[in-house]
Structure 1
């Protein structure tokens, strides 16, 4: 599943999952989700830690108040996650 489709279906996501997204991070990038309790790191090197499903849902709600389309929300979330990764 790609990142845009993941956002589109985020109400179906379990809250205890971690999202790893294939680089480069774009709405079309592939997503791998793993349960927090079962995180295995032997993913392809092109996948990097992106966010938790809880954080993804929170950000989507926050950015939805800007009255922008879902694709723009996707880009805002990508930008947020990139900034977060740079600062950690």
Structure 2
């Protein structure tokens, strides 16, 4: 895999992965390290694995996601995904 531009990870190992899914046919972000190897938040920071995508200079964008889970949740919890967007005022 590769580390895509404009991304930052905390407590996760997300990388670019070429999918064989005929629907997309492109690269996706895939979490390569799960909580069976390192419990969430156990490496450096408390909390779940997070991935930030974007640049603080971006002013007009839309955010969406498609999610696929390959396994059941571990450590007694279910898999989940969420998306958040932050609004920023123009500094110019």
Common fold, TM-score beyond 0.5? no
Q: TM-score, normalised by structure 1?
A: 0.23
**Greater RCO, 1 or 2 (C-alpha within 8 Å, sep 6+):** 1
Greater helix percent: which structure?
Answer: 1
Structure with higher Rg: it is: 2
